[in-house]
Amino acid sequence: MGRVRTFGSGLAVLVAIVAMVVALPALWTHERIVDRQGFVAFVEPMAHDRQIQDLIADELTRQITDQTSAPEILVAPATQRYTRSDLFPPDFADVLGQQHDFLFTEPTTDAERSNVLELDLTDMVNRVVQRFGLPSSIRVDGPIRIPLGESQRSGLEAGRYAHTGDQVTRTGWLALAVAIVAALLALVIARRRGVTLAMLGVGAVISGAVSWGATGILRDRALDEFSGTDSSPRQVARIILDRAGDDLQHTALITGGVGIAVIAVGVLSSLVLERRR
């Protein structure tokens, strides 16, 4: 009977560890990337980054001067004032939210399916022209959209990640549920609960280490989706992806730290119980 309990507990621990390894990156992806509100909340603070402000200001200046006869020396200060104003962060989040909808919402028509991801700067351009000191003679007609991929082959077509996002979300929550159930089962049937708890802590450390190691691969794969030259929008995308990678690594570190604490508690509990025996 004792061997059966030991085997069952060990098997449950193994299942819990595998589930933790799957759950951590999947749930992080859901909270930071797949969920629209989570994504917008994650990227909006980046609008305060001076590098992003300068990149967007440069692109807005380029678009306005290309569309009008206004000199750059007049337009550039206006775009910089805009990107440093309180109006820019919500506009920045709105633009990225539109891109999120484009990639994570299943298209309903053939026309939508044929579209490629674009950075729509129309509202930002109009905001600069109307509210930041440019002469009333400067007018920009028509939408300002910058393609972020050369064709559908770039992987940035409409609804590209709709199905994948749903799968990641389901997988993450299912893995979390399996990890919790398996961990509780292992602790209930274990003969030496302190050791079992320590092994679960090892699983958390492994989960954090795997997520940390996968960060670079996932970041490079995501950046490969953006084709073309090293334009300002692509540089902004690179910064966002770098910040996302940093956030995943931070989450992995926290998970690993929690795992180390659980190991310590498990080992201490095991030693205390052994002394009592």
Q: Which residues contact 171 (CB under 8 A, 6 or more apart)?
A: 22, 26
Query: Does residue 153 have a pLDDT over 60?
Result: no
- 151 or 24, which is more confident: 24
For the chain, the residue count is 277
- Per-residue pLDDT, averaged over 190-206, amounts to 90
pLDDT band at 152 (very low <50, low <70, confident <90, very high): very low
Q: What proportion of the chain, given as a percentage, has pLDDT over 70? A: 88
What is the Cα–Cα distance from 147 to 166, expressed in whole angstroms? 26
Instruction: Return d(Cα 59, Cα 76) in angstroms, integer.
Output: 10
On average, the pLDDT of the chain sits at 85
Residues 264/216, Cβ–Cβ less than 8 Å:
no
3-state class (DSSP) for residue 49:
coil
Q: How far apart are CA 64 and CA 120, in angstroms?
A: 14
The pTM (predicted TM-score) of the whole model is 0.85
Task: Determine the average pLDDT of the residues in 20-30.
Answer: 95
Find the range with the poorest average confidence among 11-15, 34-38, 131-135, 201-205.
Answer: 131-135
Give the pLDDT confidence score for residue 185 in this predicted structure.
Answer: 93
* Highest mean pLDDT pick, 61-65, 74-78, 99-103, 255-259: 255-259
Mind listing the pLDDT tens digit for each residue in 40-57?
A: 999 999 999 999 999 999
Instruction: Tell me the pLDDT tens digit for each residue of 237-247.
Output: 888 888 999 99
Looking at mean pLDDT, say which of 45-49, 146-150, 227-231 comes out highest. 45-49
Cβ count within 10 A of residue 199 = 22
For residue 229, the model assigns a pLDDT of 47
Question: What average pLDDT score do residues 65-70 get?
Answer: 82
C-beta neighbour count of 262 within 10 angstroms: 19
